[in-house]
A and B are shown apart, each in its own frame.
Chain A
Amino acid sequence: MSLPGLPLLLQSIVSGILMGGVYSLVAIGLTLIFGVMKIINFAHGSFMMLGMFTTYWAFVLLGIDPYLSLLLSIPILFLLGLVVERVLISQVLDAPEHNQLLLTLGISLLIENFALFLWSPNFRTLDIGYLKKATTIGTVMVSFPKVIAFLFAFLLTGVLYYFLKYTDLGKAIRASSEEKEGALTVGINLRRIYYVAFGIGTACVGAAGSLAATFFYVNPHVGGIFVITAFVVVVLGGMGNFIGALVGGLLIGLAESVAAAFVPGQLKQFVIYFIFILVLLFKPEGLFGRSREE
């Protein structure tokens, strides 16, 4: 192991933070679903993969610009989330936790391998000129699509934050996540809240997929790469904690990218898992969470 020079370190800090924006967006959907429904959604990565393929096919078949295809992937994934929640997830809301986990695992096995069946395991990338642009600031190279993805991730998070904070539906969602019985008492329709929240969660990850497709390869198993990281982010930020997920995403993106400068090959993932286990063991309520006594 050799110490990387300053330029490399700066470069990894910048790329890490940019990548972290996408992790945040993936994690925000996951943490929203967990916060409201107390369900760990293993199928989250599959939904992201569907978002990526939406953007890919929209460009390849219809020539739609990848950023414009957000207008496709967000509603499609929102609707898909609604349906999956109504038909499947809502059946197990009172089941033991591990059965909920297994159901979402089943859903992800089904979706991913169906995608494999339809679209083959080939690695695909969007071949568009302007996506390959990059500018250099000092010694640091900044790639264009990553900056856009980062900004979009923040924009979408902002919109979502506003929605949850100031609209009636958003307030109802937050109320249900904080105090289920209380929400029921004041006449909030929990079933509706659940499927809307799940839909918003999948829409978020659909958007994250579209954005990631501009600089990452697309293939049926690609979701797994992001979703494991998203689990780490969610636990780090505190399960169900919105701002925690945002900050956690940036932190993990940074940690991963800086680790990659020090350790060879795939071992940067090792660092992520290590952080994950440490947080689970010693700070399960997350870095920013107040400890929840139940």
Chain B
Amino acid sequence: MRNNRERTLAWIGALAGGLFFLVLPRFIGGYFLHLVTMIFFFTYLGSAWNILGGYAGQFSFGHAAFFGIGAFTSTILQIHFGVNPWIGMFLGGTVGLLLGLFVGSLSFRYGLRGPYFALAMLAVAEMLRLLAVEWMAVKYPLGITIPLKGNSLLAFQFTTKVPYYYIAFAMMILVLYLTHAIERRRLGSYFLAIRENEGAADALGVNVFRYKLIAMAISAFLTAAGGTFYAQYYLMIEEESTFGTGVSIEVLLGPIIGGAGTVLGPFVGAAILELLSEGTRNLLKGYSGVHLMVYGAILIVVIIFLPKGILGGLQTAYRRLSRVW
């Protein structure tokens, strides 16, 4: 009974939120539109990370590897072979997935866990970045620019920001729904079992290696597809903003701060980070690293006081309260 009511409330909340964001572009201008688009986009990336890092507990410190592979694959295909960016997005995702399977099968087969897996992923991303640096230094020293083709959904290029807003919104809804679906199914339970106690999960007959790889594949595909959105949004890519360690950090900060292993955690985290970083950027104009300083401070505070993130902390508090009542 009570569970039903909660579910109805959740649906009403989701619908209201969805409607709000659907009509929002009518009321806000270019700058805020960009801001909200970035919140959607980082929610999307954070959720992709969350499936591997938050649910399956495999803490990746190098998701920039997938992000960059996606951005570069679709862009190169588009420029050199005229491949449509939407198809490029799918192909980029696939290349990311293959990379994920390769790296994953190696590191999971050899039992890399916790910080060791995190560092190995970091090394993979850095290796790809160095390759990109070497390759670009000769051919594209100023970054790769995607030629303008005007305003068209088919070309994944628009002269205004509104269509990007809706695409990012759709991507976010898709991945949030996917996370929700995984969480409610057997797959999600396997992920949680692996995260909480790998040995026990294995003893109970969960194929740990296989389910870690599945989490990796989903996460890598989605992150790489996100890379294409990034490339089409800015119409320019270079190695640092795609393969750089900063990307890996920004991707995981959202879910960590919002609450890893929760559906809406990445959204809460991304919203807080984007709003705060914009706020501080406006407050202290001209200092490039200020938003990262704020990220660092928030990260410290969250890890010490809310080790499960904001939503994780709220959940614990809610459970305690409902026990008292």
Name A residues whose Cβ lies closer than 8 Å to a Cβ of B: 40, 88, 91-92, 95-99, 101-103, 105-114, 116-117, 121, 220, 224, 228, 231, 235, 264-267, 269-270, 273-274, 276-277, 280-282, 284
Contacts and interface: CB of A to CB of B under 8 A. Distances in A.
B92 to A, nearest CB: 23
B303 A95 contact: yes
B123 A277 contact: yes
Contacts of A98: 59, 114-115, 118
A281 B134 contact: no
Contacts of B59: 98, 101
B137 interface: yes
A95 B307 contact: yes
B115 A101 contact: yes
A274 B59 CA distance: 20
Contacts of A111: 296
B126 A228 contact: yes
B11 to A, nearest CB: 33
A280 B120 contact: yes
B123 A113 contact: no
Contact of B118 (A101, A112, A224): A101
B181 interface: no
For the complex, would chain B's binding face be called helix, strand, loop or mixed by DSSP majority?
helix
Interface stretch (B168-176, B207-215, B287-295): B287-295
Given A98-B114, A269-B130, A284-B110, 8 more contacts: A91-B304, A97-B115, A101-B61, A106-B296, A107-B300, A121-B289, A281-B107, A281-B112
Given A105-B299, A106-B300, A113 B119 contact: no
B36 interface: no
Interface string B106-143: 11001010111011100110110011011001000000
Contact of B304 (A88, A267, A277, A284): A88
The interface centre, meaning the residue of A92, A105, A266 with most chain B CB atoms within 10 A of its CB, is A105
A241 to B, nearest CB: 16
B106 A88 contact: no
A277 B120 contact: yes
A184 to B, nearest CB: 24
A282 B300 CA distance: 34
Nearest to A239: B116
B297 interface: yes
B106 A281 contact: yes
5 contacts: A98-B118, A102-B256, A105-B296, A228-B126, A273-B124
A42 B98 CA distance: 29
Contact of A277 (B115, B124, B133): B124
B249 interface: yes
Contacts of A267: 130-131, 134
Contact of B299 (A95, A102, A265, A273): A102
A270 B303 contact: no
Given A99-B303, A117-B287, A269 B126 contact: yes
Contacts of B249: 105, 109
Interface string B238-252: 000000010001000
Contacts of A270: 127, 130-131
B110 A282 contact: yes
A103 B300 contact: yes
B123 A273 contact: yes
B119 A280 contact: yes
B69 to A, nearest CB: 16
Contacts of B137: 265
B285 to A, nearest CB: 12
A138 to B, nearest CB: 33
Contacts of A91: 304
Contact of A97 (B112, B114, B126): B114
Contacts of A228: 126
A103 B116 CA distance: 16
Interface in B298-325: 298-300, 303-304, 307
A40 B115 contact: yes
A186 B299 CA distance: 37
A103 B304 contact: yes
A277 B114 CA distance: 15
B248 to A, nearest CB: 10
A94 to B, nearest CB: 10
Those 3 A-B pairs whose CB atoms lie nearest each other, nearest first = A109-B296, A106-B299, A110-B296
A265 to B, nearest CB: 6
Contact of A99 (B116, B127, B295, B307): B307
Contact of B116 (A102, A105, A265, A284): A284
A276 B116 CA distance: 11
A270 B133 CA distance: 11
